[in-house]
Structure 1
């Protein structure tokens, strides 16, 4: 590099090169490696290299790399918990991960089972209270809480610890949010949903960026081919409609609300969808609540996930008001994990109700 100003960096070598660049003060290489992590991390589906980089970030006290790795673990937690690398995580690392609200998981019960399996397989029952205290039992249905009481080995051994938390969760599911607000402080993380991708709280929208426009065939007359302006047929934007409960409490399980989601690549496709199109920046995802009561005590902090064709999550975006401006399909972005194909293949809209 010192002679040619060129260097090849891959997933296997990036840790060493980043370390050398830091030691020798070659900030250009170090900063380039920081950006490259977003492209390289998704290349290992075993999570082995990602965990090695996380351990390295802790050892050299690199907060940026540590956060990138934690973000990748959180966004792809549904896959991470099913990999052998899940059992190589230390108790302290798992504790840090469980504090995050951006964990993408089927539901909170799935996360509880993964943590319980980790504790039992590692024979670390002394960490039960510390780790299980991070599980958000309020987000688990009363039916599943009852099953945990009957089936969980850890519950048998630590019943007094769990019972206290289960009683609070059962209370949460049995009264209205207005009543809950009189009795407890709503800044408690246990009352904040993570990013749940079950059909109960989310819906997927498949997208095909290669079909954004279709060209017409060329014309022939008396054996001559005439070159004319190519015409484009712009399809309407892909969309999906779905329903969720109004709130995460079982008290509202039959109180359903309806949602409409669109993915607009440009103004033309938006207009062809017969919806309002006041946007100046594209692509954009929109998510609208169709029957919200303005006086409702429930607010929504929704998310839209960008998924690669192997179901790995490339990006998690806040839906502000009803809109989320998305990265373009081409290239590898600085703040999102690149897909192998260079394109996202689907969006998943996730509903996250919170007390207002």
Structure 2
């Protein structure tokens, strides 16, 4: 199964010898007729065996049974998955406890999430996963929404987003946003659109500070005060306070794609002129193309921390995209596959206790984020055997690579 629509799941090879004998013969079986209404499949009678159906209690295949109705051909060990039938098949597999089929069909949903630019499909599938208690499908939907939060917040589905789902997204460390101000504006639009349908406590919990502050001064004051402390005091000072909890979700960094915390490399970009071009723009050097044997390179700088105290203390980073073995060897590196990304600091600071979380985002043709992965010792392998491995399938291998730095105090 490759996660594409129109896929056929064939589980015949997974059968034991005894089950295979039962499956291949038509003796001592009972008649199972598929229901045509629910899954909209052509109904037909199939021969199935009690010894196999007895593994699934909901079939109620008693010794006296001679026939029964079933909506999905579980016993045939072969299922055609189409766009119109996948949720039906998943629901039936979940209800009858066929875990392998449920998980396989659940993975197919990854292929349809990016197709809906209005985000109605990911949200409705999340609600369905909650109902079906499918934790894998639930996480798959939440992760896609977190990675593509910017587009979600601009879609028609945004103001109708369930409060439970919104709370989950806000606590995720892999929430991808340009910056905190974008998130603040998005949350404010959500709250304002809901009006009196959300409680005051919910508004305060979602919005740490905003234009709504003047309306509810007392309830917002504590949150604003905490945010001010975090942005103007040294971390050592914050830790000395008995009220400070560094594990609080309020202090969890997100993935910021706006400057200065991120830079992007688009290997498909074509720039007229010399093959090698290095230019200075917005506090960074940018290499739009590279000579033979040299990686595509971006040089950019970030503050040591998001706190205003370190605004003028800069650390410079070098982002590389290695396209070949020669690219790597020229830098004294051994790369397992190509493409390979590297993100390393050009200078070091040791005065404060800060670690930098470095992540790579793959965006398909500027439309949606299909993969987020970590750097290990500055290296992140993008492909396996020359093939991009992404969480959400893309029609073609045309990606923009976003290099992201997240400072955290320890």
User: Aligned partners of 2:335, 2:200: CA distance in 1, in Å?
Assistant: 49
2:319, 2:309 → 1: CA distance?
Answer: 26
State the alpha-carbon separation in 1 of the partners of residues 386 and 110 from structure 2. 15
| Native 8 Å contact 2:149 2:176 kept in 1 | yes
Q: Which has the higher contact order (CA 8 A, sep 6+)?
A: 1
Distance in structure 2 (CA, Å) of the matches to 1:250 and 1:200: 14
SS at match of 2:240: helix
Q: Distance in 2 between matches of 1:93 and 1:264?
A: 38
- Name the CA distance, whole Å, in 1 between partners of 2:378 and 2:386: 24
Question: Does 2:315 align with 1:257?
Answer: yes
Any conservation in 2 of the 1:104–1:194 contact (CA below 8 Å)? Answer: yes
Shift of 1:62: 0.9
Q: Which has the larger radius of gyration?
A: 2
**Pairs within 5 Å for 1:70-109:** 70-109=142-181
In structure 2, the CA distance between the partners of 1:132 and 1:75, relative to structure 1 (3 Å rule), is farther
Q: Within 1, Cα distance between the matches of 2:236 and 2:77?
A: 67
Shift of 1:289: 1.0
Deviation at 1:26, TM superposition (A): 4.5
Query: In 2 relative to 1, CA 330–13 (structure 1 residues): closer, same or farther, beyond 3 Å?
Result: farther
**Structure ranking higher in helix proportion:** 1
- Counterpart among 93, 99, 120 of residue 48 in structure 1: 120
Q: How far apart are 1:182 and its partner, in Å? A: 2.8
SS for the counterpart of 1:352 is strand
Aligned equivalent of 2:276: none
Tell me if the contact between 1:178 and 1:297 (Cα under 8 Å) persists in the aligned partners: no
CA drift at 1:173: 2.3
**Equivalence for 1:336:** 391
Would you say 1:292 and 2:348 are equivalent positions? yes
Q: CA deviation at 1:98?
A: 1.3
Aligned to 1:196: 256
Task: Provide the C-alpha distance between the structure 1 equivalents of 2:394 and 2:367, rounded to a whole number of angstroms.
Answer: 10
Q: Which runs of 5+ in 1 are unaligned?
A: 138-144, 210-232
Partner of 1:219: none
- Report deviation, 1:134: 5.0
Instruction: Compute the displacement of 1:68 (Å).
Output: 0.4
- Other structure's SS at 2:232 match: coil
- Deviation, 1:198, is 0.8
Find the residue that maps to 2:355 and give its secondary structure: strand
**More strand, by proportion:** 2
Q: Aligned-pair distance for 1:130?
A: 3.1
On the 8 A contact 1:119/1:128 being kept in 2, the answer is no
Q: Aligned partners of 1:43, 1:330: CA distance in 2, in Å?
A: 25
Q: Show the 5 A alignment for 1:188-227.
A: 188-208=248-268
Matches within 5 A, 1:1-356: 2=73, 5-10=78-83, 12-124=84-196, 126-130=198-202, 132-133=204-205, 148=210, 152=211, 154-183=212-241, 184-208=244-268, 235-271=293-329, 274-328=330-384, 333=389, 336-341=391-396, 343-356=397-410
Q: Is the 8 A contact 2:337 2:384 kept in 1?
A: no
Deviation at 1:282, TM superposition (A): 4.3
Q: Matches of 2:239 and 2:122 in 1, distance apart?
A: 41
After superposition, give the CA deviation of every residue in 1:279-327 in whole Å (9 maximum; x if it has no partner). Answer: 4454321111111124531111121101100330011112233122224
The Cα shift of 1:30 comes to: 2.2
How many residues align structurally?
Answer: 315
Cα pair distance change 1:330/1:161, threshold 3 Å: farther
Paired position in structure 1 for 2:277: none
Relative to 1, partners in 2 of residues 1:8 and 1:120: Cα closer, same or farther, differing over 3 Å? same
Q: CA RMSD in A?
A: 2.7
Which deviates the most, 291-300 or 274-283? Answer: 274-283
- Give how far 1:190 is off: 2.0
